[in-house]
Chains A and B, each alone.
Chain A
């Protein structure tokens, strides 16, 4: 099976707290890509990061950081010093390739993050 599991349905934190959003994936492919998208209340899906299966180096971008561990099939996302503007639904997604050369994003169910002042 190829799927993405985001076990945390909702997380509520107070501003300035650190928060980690979990993502566990399953795939039989040896080459694959993982993504995180943010969906604020306005509805658009905003691309945050892409990581390929050969690069396990963790990445930091400002207050955002990502921890990719192939050994546990996880690609977790941490927001440091959370802010109210971080309130959104966050989706982890797996890009898989089908015959015929087209790809497909498999999304997790999403984690709704609420950051309170």
Chain B
């Protein structure tokens, strides 16, 4: 089945220790998104790629970076995680950017910062 895969499902890191979260998709979608969802809150968009075109949300901290080496994979790098970065990180994809395109989400990676 075509899907959005996130690895690992659970990640524990130490304060200040860089961490990378992975997302892959078999849907061949052009757009990939990263969301941060803190406990009992709605998902918040961090950035997205339309093909190789990177778009950062204005309020996304510089501590968060992303890479998309090819259509299928997208990575979220947190350079120096703080306690406030503990959250669920959700990857999503959509076929195109337009109005009609539904975003499909992966299972998420729950990040714990010690």
Contacts and interface: CB of A to CB of B under 8 A. Distances in A.
A45 B42 contact: no
Contacts of A109: 41-42
Interface in A83-101: 91, 95, 97, 100-101
Interface string B31-73: 1000000001111010010100001000000000000000000
A77 interface: no
Interface residues of A, number: 26
A42 B107 CA distance: 8
A90 B42 CA distance: 10
A33 B100 contact: yes
A64 interface: no
A40 to B, nearest CB: 10
Contact of A108 (B42, B98, B99, B106): B42
B108 A44 contact: yes
A52 B100 CA distance: 8
A91 B42 contact: yes
A35 B102 contact: yes
B74 interface: no
Interface of B: 31, 40-43, 45, 48, 50, 55, 88, 90, 92, 94, 97-108, 110
17 contacts: A31-B99, A43-B88, A43-B107, A43-B108, A43-B110, A45-B92, A50-B102, A52-B99, A91-B43, A95-B99, A101-B50, A102-B97, A103-B98, A104-B45, A105-B45, A109-B42, A110-B42
Given A42-B107, A52-B100, A110-B40, 19 more contacts: A32-B99, A33-B100, A43-B90, A43-B107, A44-B90, A44-B105, A45-B43, A45-B90, A45-B92, A47-B103, A47-B105, A50-B102, A95-B99, A100-B55, A101-B98, A102-B31, A103-B97, A109-B42, A110-B41
